Amino acid sequence: MKRISSVWIALLGIIVGALLTLTFSAYTQRKHLINIQNNQWRKLNLILDKIDKNYVDTIDRNGLTDAAITAALAALDPHSVYMPPVELDQAETDLAGNFDGIGIQFNVPNDTAIVLEVIPGGPSEKVGLQQGDRILKVDDKVIAGVSFPQDSMVRRMKGPAGTKVTITVGRGKEVIPFEITRGKIPVHCVDAAFMVNDTTGYIKLTKFSRTTFSEVYDACISLYDKGMRRLVFDLRDNTGGYFDQALLLCNMFLDKGDEIVYMEGLHRKKEEYKADGGGIMRNMKLTVLINESSASSSEIFAGAIQDNDRGVIMGRRSFGKGLVQEPIYFSDGSGVRLTVARFYTPSGRCIQKPYSDDYQYDIYKRYTDGEMYDADSIKVDSTLAYKTVGGRTVFGGGGIIPDVFVPLDTTRASKFFIACNKKATQMRFASEMFDSFKGTISGIDDYEELNKALDRMDIPSRFREFASSKDGITCNQKEWDETQDYLIPQLRALIGRYSKLGDNAFYKMYLKVDDTLRKAIESD
């Protein structure tokens, strides 16, 4: 018995020794790997330190650090970015739903800012600024007629709430200075919401800001009360924004338990999001418009609607940005947006398009490859086939491919039209027409009345005269006949924007030449 016990003790010692050896070996390898990784990271600090101590000239440490961070992030993916304080502040302001300023919307058609809208209840309305005023100076800085950059104009007018700025405007022959106390200005993301016929409503959403859900909700209720039984939801050129707002919008239209999206990454466990069944638009007939500039949250919404067979997606393939970006903030006001996961539609499609050396030129390649004009030119990866809830086949490979393709129509763009576009002749003409008919246009808040007023303006002959005298652009009758059906609705829309109907008038009047929107309405 003692002999047997000795054998077992010996065997146990061998096993324990082997385990200790393996554990120590694994520990040593792991420690070695960590040391290698730490040394790799130390290399960057070592280089910066050597530059600081040995470089021939004075070092801009902040600039060099920013450059190193920017280069490091660029090596990861196209959307992981470093933002200095000014850029970060601007990016977050754009999505916040409000900013500090004077409360106007303006356009610069001819080297002078013209007030398009004075936001009701805002600082500018309180002191008497009016639609159509020409902004000549901001404080003592002349900004009219001197090719002053538009973004610089905005920066000069913005400022902390409670501070003052003097805006000098031209109103007819008068020059009037207004001292304005800046305040909190709401930024709207619903550009337009109106009924296109007795039963079809239209909502144009430009971004997913902090106020997106509440704005769309209010617009839907208003249109429903006017008889809406079908919604055309326009997400074209919507580059996205806050993820939670996309979830809330999807929830408005989906039934309980319907999958919305899921995210997953190397260091992020799979997270799934589903509708709770409390949405107010679950039974509303839905058409979603997208194009090559619809990205991120727009694609999450379109993908959820498509994969659940909840509505029709119409237009052209979306951009293909499906990355979860996590913000990292630094004490100096700068920050990093780091990609930590990818978004996937309910069927399993990865929204993010593949990275490539010419990634930044992808949209241009779509033009050259013919994808904008022909559905058969869309590069579909047949190996990435997925099924919707109803069993339809949809394809991955990046972006959302619409159910109904609408090509880009360039056949109506005559030489005359292109020449006018290059010089923004249409916008400057609209501004001049507003000056001539300000007393009539500015007070109109009814579409029928606006159309009658525009009919009386003899827009075709006035525009041809304006294009010829101001920009030296002429056309013969044949070319005008080819152009006017496409051009005149655009001119009426631009002039109509100066009325109280604002962007609603623009989008409603532009309907006649908007092929995608027209096809969506006709497909009912």
pLDDT at 76: 87
Tokens of 59: 């070092």
pLDDT digits (tens, 9 = 90+) for 199-224: 999 999 999 988 999 999 999 999 99
Classify 57 in phi/psi space as left (phi over 0), alpha (psi -120 to 50) or beta.
beta
pLDDT at 310: 97
284 and 392 part of one domain:
yes
Rounded average pLDDT over 363-392: 89
| Integer angstrom CA distances of residue 125 from 156, 289, 298, 472, 500 | 18, 35, 34, 38, 14
Domain end residue (candidates: 186, 212, 244): 186
pLDDT digits (tens, 9 = 90+) for 263-273: 999 999 999 99
Residue 18 has pLDDT above 80, yes or no: no
pLDDT at 68: 86
pLDDT at 238: 94
Mean pLDDT of the residues in the chain? 87
Rounded average pLDDT over 27-44: 59
Residue 291 counted as domain residue: yes
Least confident interval from 119-123, 294-298, 306-310, 328-332:
119-123
161 and 212 part of one domain:
no
Residue 52 counted as domain residue: no
pLDDT interval class at 444 (50, 70, 90): very high
Active site positions, annotated: 296, 307, 321
pLDDT interval class at 330 (50, 70, 90): confident
pLDDT digits (tens, 9 = 90+) for 80-118: 888 888 777 777 666 665 677 888 888 887 788 888 888
Query: pTM, whole model, 2 decimals?
Result: 0.82
* CATH number of 142's domain: 2.30.42.10
C-alpha to C-alpha distance for 181 and 173, rounded to whole angstroms: 25
DSSP 424-436: THHHHHHHHHHHH
267 and 164 part of one domain:
no
| Residues of the domain holding 142 | 98-186
pLDDT at 199: 96
263 and 119 part of one domain:
no
Residue 61 counted as domain residue: no
Q: Taking the C-alpha atoms of 397, 518, 237 and 243 in order, what is their torsion angle to the nearest 10 degrees? A: -70
Q: Is 350 helix (H, G, I), strand (E, B) or coil?
A: strand
Contact 212, 241 (CB under 8 A): yes
pLDDT interval class at 473 (50, 70, 90): very high
Number of domains in the chain: 3
276 and 395 part of one domain:
yes
According to DSSP, residue 407 is labeled -
Residue 252 has pLDDT above 90, yes or no: yes
* CATH number of 356's domain: 3.90.226.10
| Integer angstrom CA distances of residue 21 from 26, 33, 115, 380, 461 | 9, 18, 78, 54, 93
pLDDT at 409: 83
381 and 472 part of one domain:
no
Give the angle subtended at the CA of 243 by the CAs of 239 and 248, to the nearest 5°. 110
Residue 374 counted as domain residue: yes
pLDDT at 23: 56
pLDDT digits (tens, 9 = 90+) for 109-146: 778 888 888 877 788 888 888 888 899 999 999 998 88
pLDDT at 296: 94
210 and 348 part of one domain:
yes
Contact 524, 200 (CB under 8 A): yes
pLDDT at 315: 96
Least confident interval from 10-24, 97-111, 363-377, 451-465:
10-24
366 and 441 part of one domain:
no
pLDDT digits (tens, 9 = 90+) for 309-325: 999 999 999 999 999 98
Residue 33 has pLDDT above 80, yes or no: no
